[in-house]
Amino acid sequence: MTENAYTTVNSRECDVYSYGVVLLELITRKKVADPSFMEGTDLVGWVRLMWSETGEINQIVDSSLANEFLDTNIMENVTKVLMLAFRCTEKDPRKRPTMTDVTKQLSDSNPQKISKKG
């Protein structure tokens, strides 16, 4: 998480950035400074590069999740989480969502939501 490496002041924006990195780690099952990355590249940079080059979620997510993508809804939800992670890791902290927005978006994309029956 290069952002926190250059500052001694923690902020809500840094927390959102860190949360975005955690989302990327969960999706890719890679570490922030994975040895498979080119030198000078971190997880955020690698995912952004892969997405811009291919636009395919299959190139980014951990290969063990491939069978899950047979269900189109799951692939759509993982893509939504990826887009949220991109927003959380925006270079300009003012463009990042609030944690309230993040939790709402995650809740909205949760396929396991329990609907209340009245």
Domains of the chain: residue spans and CATH: 9-108 (1.10.510.10)
Q: What is this structure's pTM?
A: 0.80
CA distance 1 to 33: 9
> In this predicted structure, what is the pLDDT of residue 116?
44
Name the pLDDT band for 111 (thresholds 50, 70, 90): low
Task: Give long-range contacts, CB 8 A cutoff, 24+ apart: 111-114.
Answer: 111/73, 111/74, 111/77
> Does residue 30 or residue 34 have the better pLDDT?
30
Q: What is the mean pLDDT of the chain?
A: 83
Residue 24 has pLDDT above 70, yes or no: yes
Over residues 27-48, mean pLDDT: 88
CA distance 13 to 89: 9
Over residues 2-21, mean pLDDT: 72
CA distance 104 to 36: 33
**% of the chain beyond a pLDDT of 90:** 49
